Amino acid sequence: MNESDVKKLFEDNGQEHVFGFWNELDPSQKNNLIESCSQVDFKWLKERCDNVKNGINEIEIPTDITPAPVICLTDTKDHKEATVLGIEALKAGKVGVFLVAGGQGSRLGFNGPKGCYEVGPCTNKTLFQWHAEQIRASSIRYGVSIPWYIMTSTLNHDDTEKFFKDNDYFGLGAENVKCFKQRMVPSVDLNYKLILAQKDGLAVNPDGHGGCFWALCNRGALDDMKTRGIEYLSYFQVDNPLVKIIDPLFIGYHVKAGAQMSSKILKKAYPEEKVGHICLDEGKTTVIEYSDMPEDQMHAKGDDGELKFWAGSIAIHILSTSFVDEVGGQAKLPWHVAHKKIPFIDDFGSHVVPSSNNGIKFETFVFDALPITSSSITLEVAREEEFAPVKNADGLDSPASCRQLMSNRFGEWLEAAGKSVPRDGEGNVSINIEISPLFALDQDEFAGKCPEGLEVKDGMVL
């Protein structure tokens, strides 16, 4: 669109204020603003804003939910068969890994892609390196190269690619690490007006991890998977270094069930824990966010006196590529609304970082694809083995809690191998310990490798 068409469109939609600094802009800034404005889909924006204005929640909260069937930690009878199937799929080169890393990481407040955040309790290894070492160790174990697809956004794409290049792709090979961008959508203020992030650009945000379906299908990733014969994608988030990126048991259960999208869950630590609830709604697997779960259901108890909805989603999934292909490009996931602090340019041209929520972001969530699957399995995992997210700068789910959970996990491996590990009064390992995935991917492997005369002490790195 040319300049006058864009300006007219914005006037017609009551958004002409975004050209308030037009006369101050140099020609290249004017181009930037026109380019930024040309991306706005007013039909989409109007629908979203009208829904918020009219109090319409696009997320239908089912009222008649039951707990979803879960393969629990104790249901081990089919584990062997599932593991064999998973290993077969891996060795046949049918498995790729898929990291969603396009988010803004605003709660952590780190300047740069979140994957560049250093979490190693002793070595300060970054999240990206932890993930890369796991993928490399798994490639070695199964004798196959495992392609790694990374969804980024315009906020962090170039920095992410540079980080991997500067680190020589952590030995995975450039051809096996593929970054691609998700889409961005505009944010609005509390009066539904578009926001200037700078004088020559609108405030936009990535379209949520649910945007991965469109991005996989439209940014070359799915085509690459087809060429390589990838049938299953192990989906994970950037912020959890304890995620088992390659888990033959999980893959195998998914394969065995002919599932389209499967999920890992853990037992909620307490009723209000901020994890999604995996439930059944009229036979369809569905995740209800903690913020959308009715209070009475959140606290409901079953006949056994335990929490009825005890299964919390930890955002680890297997996606069948045929499912992504089938629904991906046009998956109509509902838009979630988040009130956030969005930095902006005020009427006087100053950059303002607000101290309270001043705007709305619209995002889609990957788990909203679960109800459109024809088949899905849910597998319980042990919290201490697989969950240590870095979300906040401090307190709960912070770098400090993540490092403690990492040391705790490695402490358990050492104890299982017969070593004594110091713990504090709360049961936490009281020294920093780190075991690289390249040394051992899991407790069993560690048990077979634990050096005999190993001295367990603070700062121990294997």
The residue ranges that bind ligand UTP (CB under 6 A) are 100-107, 114, 151, 182, 206-209, 211, 237-239, 363, 391
What distance in Å separates the CA atoms of residue 145 and residue 135, rounded to the nearest whole number?
A: 9
Nearest approach in angstroms of CB 198 to ligand UTP is: 19
Q: Provide the minimum distance between the beta carbon of 340 and ligand UTP in the complex, in angstroms, as a whole number.
A: 8
139 or 182, CB closer to ligand UTP? 182
- CB closer to ligand UTP, 104 vs 428: 104
Q: How far is the CB of 389 from ligand UTP (least distance, A)?
A: 8
Unique residue bearing structure tokens 């709360």: 426
We find the least distance from the C-beta atom of residue 277 to ligand UTP, in angstroms, to be 16
| 232 CB-near residues (< 8 Å, 6+ apart) | 89, 94, 95, 96, 251, 254, 255, 318, 319, 320, 321
- For the CB of residue 393, give the shortest distance to ligand UTP in the complex, in Å: 10
Q: Which is nearer to ligand UTP, 15 or 182 (CB)?
A: 182
Question: What tokens appear for 451 in the block?
Answer: 């050096």
**Residue 89 or 342: which CB sits closer to ligand UTP?**
342
Q: Which is nearer to ligand UTP, 335 or 413 (CB)?
A: 335
Tokens encoding 188? 């609005």
Write down the least CB distance from residue 362 to ligand UTP, Å. 10
> Closer to ligand UTP at the Cβ: 91 or 383?
383
Closest approach of Cβ 386 to ligand UTP, in Å? 15
Q: Tell the smallest beta-carbon distance from residue 230 to ligand UTP (Å).
A: 19
Q: Which residue's CB is nearer to ligand UTP, number 90 or number 342? A: 342
CA 71, CA 252: separation in Å to the nearest integer? 12
Task: Report, in Å, the least distance between residue 424 CB and ligand UTP.
Answer: 29
Minimum CB distance to ligand UTP smaller for 94 or for 391: 391
Query: CB of 426: closest distance to ligand UTP in angstroms?
Result: 26
Q: Which is nearer to ligand UTP, 238 or 462 (CB)?
A: 238
Question: Cβ-closest residue to ligand UTP?
Answer: 103
Closest to ligand UTP by CB, 92 or 396: 396
